Amino acid sequence: MGALVEEIAHPTFLSFPVIAARLLFAALLGALIGFEREWRARPAGLRTHILICVAAATFGILTVEISHSTAFIGRDVTVDPVRAVEAVTAGVAFLAAGSILFTRGEVQGLTTGAGMWLAGAVGLSCGFGLWQIAGLGTFLILVVMGLLHTFEVKLGIAADKKDDDRKSRKSRDGKDDADGRC
């Protein structure tokens, strides 16, 4: 029983409060990104972005811990932290690609997919303790997805503005789109 307690209380390179702060910061930044997606009624919103950020942060923390682990001392094992970045990048890119749809000759979900991919980078930044990079990355994501969207709507080039125009045309003349197809 003592061995089990010792295993659960295994010391880490980073203190638990630091680990908790990194994960909570990742959750907060993921929530900010996800809230913007929810606000625009887009797929992959609040929960998805929080989970991506926290997962990526956890992988980042695990990479730090593995790099400092004594389990590999005296063994012929090479620890490469960049592999964690590659794995998270590939995994999140796979999820992001799933959010991209091609229907009726239009691509939808690219911004959501890119946001998910960047949420992974923000999470990794939190996991590695690179707070400034995580904060600035989140700020830039929100500027691009929020403020630039407002600008696109004012110019009439926003994708969801076009969707609204199509819906109003459909309700006005009973047709599915501008071409008159039902």
* Within-domain flag for 149: no
Evaluated on CA atoms 61, 67, 72, 75, the torsion sign reads positive
* The residue count for the chain: 182
Q: What is the mean pLDDT of residues 166-177?
A: 54
| Tens-place pLDDT, residues 75-133 | 777 778 788 888 888 988 888 888 777 677 777 777 788 888 888 889 899 988 888 99
Within-domain flag for 71: yes
Residue 180 located in a structural domain:
no
If you average pLDDT over residues 31-59, what whole number do you get?
84
Q: What percent of the chain has pLDDT over 90?
A: 10
Q: What CA–CA distance (Å, rounded) separates 127 from 131?
A: 9
Residues 6+ apart with CB under 8 A from 67: 13, 79, 81
* Better pLDDT: 161 or 146: 146
pLDDT at 177 (0 to 100)? 47
pLDDT at position 170: 55
CA angle, 42 then 45 then 46, to 5°? 150
Residue range(s) defining the domain that contains residue 133 = 12-139
pLDDT greater than 70 at residue 173: no
Q: Rounded to 5 degrees, what are φ and ψ at 181?
A: -75, 140
Any domain includes 32: yes
Look at residue 166 in the predicted model and tell me its pLDDT.
52
Residue 125, in any domain of the structure: yes
Read off the tokens for 106: 């239009």
pLDDT in tens, 48-67: 888 888 988 988 888 888 88
Instruction: Mention every residue, 6+ apart, whose C-beta is less than 8 A from residue 69.
Output: 13, 79
Residue at 5 is within a domain: no
> Is 61 inside any structural domain?
yes
Phi and psi, residue 72, nearest 5°: -100, 0
Encoded tokens for 78: 């090479």
Number of domains observed in the structure of the chain: 1
What's the pLDDT score for residue 29? 92
93, part of any domain? yes
